[in-house]
């Protein structure tokens, strides 16, 4: 990790703020911990799985495209159709940034792209 990231994380914890780790940065919700003082801290995976983290900025089109390409190759989908599916999945994730619905969005995109 980078020293700045460690400093930021330590500062956020000292200030009793909820820290949500993303791929390259940290997003701090200043009000979350204050509103949930009596609750035990939750792991990031639990927050994501329960849709408590809404982070449109966290949707990385490159990583989503790679995920779609891997699944499309397994499903033997043509490159042109894979591009259509990839774009649909990215749009859906940006509209509804819920990582646990990625497979659902993939299946919807296949239907939308006429496959």
The model's pLDDT over 23-59, given as tens digits with 9 standing for 90+, comes to: 444 455 556 666 767 777 777 777 767 777 667 777 8
The per-residue pLDDT for 27 is: 52
Cβ proximity of 59 and 93 under 8 Å:
yes
Cβ proximity of 53 and 62 under 8 Å:
no
- Mean pLDDT of the 109-115 span: 91
The per-residue pLDDT for 10 is: 59
DSSP 8-state class, residue 16:
T
Instruction: Give the residue, 69 or 30, on which the prediction is more confident.
Output: 69
Instruction: Give the residue, 52 or 100, on which the prediction is more confident.
Output: 100
Coil, strand or helix: which one is 114? coil
């Amino acid at each position: 990790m980078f020293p700045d990231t460690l400093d930021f994380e330590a500062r956020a914890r000292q200030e009793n703020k909820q820290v949500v780790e993303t791929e390259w940065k940290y997003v701090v919700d200043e009000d979350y911990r204050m509103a949930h003082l009596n609750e035990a801290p939750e792991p990031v995976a639990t927050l994501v799985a329960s849709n408590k983290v809404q982070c449109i900025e966290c949707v990385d089109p490159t990583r989503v495209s790679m995920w779609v390409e891997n699944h499309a190759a397994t499903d033997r989908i043509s490159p042109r159709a894979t591009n259509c599916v990839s774009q649909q999945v990215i749009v859906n994730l940006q509209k509804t940034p819920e990582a646990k619905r990625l497979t659902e969005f993939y299946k919807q995109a296949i239907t939308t792209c006429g496959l």
